[in-house]
Structure 1
Amino acid sequence: MASFRKRGCTCEKKKCTCGAKWEYRIKYVDRQTGKTKEKSKGGFTSKKEAQLAAAEEELKINQFGFAENGNEVVLNYFSEWLEVFKKPNVKPITYSVQERNVRLNILPRWGKYRLKDITRTEYQKWINELRDHYSEGTVRRIHSIFSSAIHDAVHEFHIIRENPIQKIKIPKDVENTNRVQYFSKEQLEKFLNSLKTPQKNAKYKHSIQYYVLFSLMARTGIRIGEALALTWDDFNEKEKSISITKTLVYPLNSTPYISTPKSLKSVRIVKLDEQTVKLLKKHKINQNEVILRYKNYKASKDNVMFHQHDGRWLRTNVVREYFKEVCKRTDLPVLSPHALRHSHAVHLLEAGANIKYVSERLGHASTKVTADTYLHITEKIENEALELYSQYIKF
């Protein structure tokens, strides 16, 4: 509730002529302590101006509920920030990642600190310590969340005046900087050929599902979530293409759901080569054969292209583990299914494909993303092109 008064008014008449300024006072309950606090501000030339400013401030206090002057404890601030300001505005999978990093990495170290007690030096030491346990990319994600929260504390909620963690340096990986993991043509052939022969302990030996799934990813560069979200309606046999309009999100210990792709550019039509078209047609027949052959193998109600024996979507973590097992038994580098996407991009570039085409096929936000990701390959292509030019021009 706000109250108003003129400060230092000496006028006895109703109409003030001394030029005294108006002030508001607001009493509110601090969510952190439960105690009643008061905020005041003066310097307003009229009562109406003070009333408008007070109404705006009361709205902020009711909406944000944060303590002032940097006294807000990190635990309380991050909990409120995540729930009220992040959860409604980001994808569920993004929120899940952010919440997990806050809970497991940020709060154990900083939870009891007040925002104003965070210093750049202590924070930088913590970042350096994180690099002893996590990859550069993981530490960057943790720092990004922390930095975003502190930026809001400064510019949105005005809890603190300055951001103490600006210009923090993330120690880089000494080796494999800007390198992506992929299979050579020979390695990829070895990997896929090993899937043609079912393992002795395989439960559904007649199924060719994993061979088709990994072949499709390797020959199109689609992401694992995009592949697992595919239905047979997305396959256009006549046009020799698949439509990428969705992605499967399978959060840890939670219910899977279909979401929009990573970016607007990720929504795309991906052309298929003749061999891949034949493989998908064969898979569709094989899928029906497997359902008839095994009593407990059910069809998917959603017409899913790759699914579990009970008809539900394949679990991404199960696919990753299976992928790693194949790598081990074929004596190949143990990579993740995402390596198939990188492999496709690298092989396209090595084959002479235009980088714009590769970028659009992969669904990258821009060609710069493609060029930066496959820097070592594009440099190799540029060097080879320059060498060809040198041999041609010879004068």
Structure 2
Amino acid sequence: MAKDMKLHAYFKDWMKLYKQGAVREVTYRKYQMTQRQIVLLASTLKMNELSRLTYQQLLNDYAETHERQTVMDFHRHIKSSLIDALEEGIIDRDPTRKAIIKGKTPGKHKTKFLNQHEVQLLLDSLCLDEGVNWDYFILLITKTGLRFSEALALTPADFDFARQTLNVTKTWDYKSKEEGFAPTKNHSSIRKIQLDWQTVIQFSQLTKGLPDNKPIFVKSKIYNDTVNHYLERLCKKAGIPVISVHGLRHTHASLLLYAGVSIASVARRLGHSNMNTTQQTYLHIIQELENQDNDKVMKHLASLI
């Protein structure tokens, strides 16, 4: 009987039925991770034993070793399955109602983005005369704001040097055992990115003679940590704050915003599905720019006598 099922067994059946094949493989693996955590923390908890108390205890146990945002994602996964269980009559009430999301104190995070002077110091430290290497990879993400998986998937054919554009149509699934091309994060991620003339010259030379439809940077198994550790060494060598590869994407966006580029244009360049994502991610920068705008407005109005 479904009511006697263990929570982890129900969640496993639910994710196979509703999520497998409906979400990207990388997203499905997150559901699988949630299911493994339920087994670890509440292996005997049955559906008919679910209450606000038992559910809150599950969240609290998970929160002991995870930060609040991770706990929130864990909660959302389970809540989605239990809402369906409620509609099916497997449970009588929603045990996730009024759940309190806790989490351990966040650890020290890497700098989210660099300022223009620091970016220049980083780019000056790159070695760009040895053919394809991670220095070119770092340069490209800094200049385009590409996601890590998008940059890995780039082939020479994706560059349109005559029009100075880069076509982003795919990603590289570096997290799975069988690496290969994969779809973009969402439809908005399929985009054309305008390139500056220096980048066009550098990459037209770099890609000359390379196979048109093979990834430029993928030569063997890729690990995100490998590139992040390499970038860390470059940052230390340049005497700037240590930043992650994803931080270079944030850096690209922040420099454009500070330069006065509209939020809409930045959102399209980053491949965000809507401007809300951009606004939430860069809220602190947008608020700072709004304060500067207010100062300009007041000065202008004060000059009208």
TM-score, normalised to structure 1, is: 0.70
Residue 206 of structure 1: how far off its partner (Å): 2.6
**Paired residue for 1:187, among 92, 95, 118?**
118
Identical pairs, percent: 28
The corresponding residue for 2:169 is: 245
Structure of larger gyration radius:
1
Q: Given that residues 155 and 214 in structure 2 are in contact (C-alpha distance below 8 angstroms), is that contact kept between their aligned partners in structure 1?
A: yes
Larger strand percent: 1
How far apart are the structure 1 equivalents of 2:17 and 2:124? 50
Matches within 5 A, 1:6-85: 67-68=1-2, 70-85=3-18
The corresponding residue for 1:336 is: 244
Residue 182 of structure 1: how far off its partner (Å): 0.9
Deviations 1:95-140 (A, max 9, x none): 112212321x221112211112122234324434433422222222
Residue 79 of structure 1: how far off its partner (Å): 2.5
- Structure 1 residues 283, 376: closer, same or farther in 2, change over 3 A? same
Residue 175 of structure 1: how far off its partner (Å): 7.8
Displacement over 6 Å in runs of 4+: 172-176
The corresponding residue for 1:348 is: 256
RMSD: 2.6
How far apart are the structure 2 equivalents of 1:194 and 1:124? 50
Higher RCO, Cα 8 Å, sep 6+:
2
Residue 313 of structure 1: how far off its partner (Å): 6.8
Larger helix percent: 2
SS in 2 for 1:87: coil
Matches within 5 A, 1:373-384: 373-384=281-292
The corresponding residue for 1:138 is: 70
SS in 1 for 2:207: helix
Residue 142 of structure 1: how far off its partner (Å): 1.3
The corresponding residue for 2:196 is: 273
How far apart are the structure 2 equivalents of 1:207 and 1:280? 10
**Paired residue for 1:363, among 244, 248, 271?**
271
The corresponding residue for 1:322 is: 230
The corresponding residue for 1:293 is: none
Matches within 5 A, 1:163-182: 163-171=94-102, 181-182=112-113
Residue 315 of structure 1: how far off its partner (Å): 4.2
SS in 2 for 1:95: helix
The corresponding residue for 1:390 is: 298
- Structure 1 residues 301, 358: closer, same or farther in 2, change over 3 A? closer
Letter in 2 for 1:320: N
Matches within 5 A, 1:88-237: 88-103=21-36, 105-155=37-87, 157-171=88-102, 181-196=112-127, 206-237=130-161
- Structure 1 residues 263, 389: closer, same or farther in 2, change over 3 A? same
Alignment of 1:258 onto 2:181: yes
Q: Given that residues 192 and 215 in structure 1 are in contact (C-alpha distance below 8 angstroms), is that contact kept between their aligned partners in structure 2?
A: yes
- Structure 1 residues 87, 113: closer, same or farther in 2, change over 3 A? same
Residue 141 of structure 1: how far off its partner (Å): 1.7
SS in 2 for 1:165: coil
- Structure 1 gaps of 5+ residues are 1-66, 198-204, 289-298
Residue 317 of structure 1: how far off its partner (Å): 4.1
Residue 159 of structure 1: how far off its partner (Å): 1.1
Letter in 1 for 2:197: E
SS in 1 for 2:19: helix
Q: Given that residues 250 and 256 in structure 1 are in contact (C-alpha distance below 8 angstroms), is that contact kept between their aligned partners in structure 2?
A: yes
Q: Given that residues 132 and 217 in structure 2 are in contact (C-alpha distance below 8 angstroms), is that contact kept between their aligned partners in structure 1?
A: no
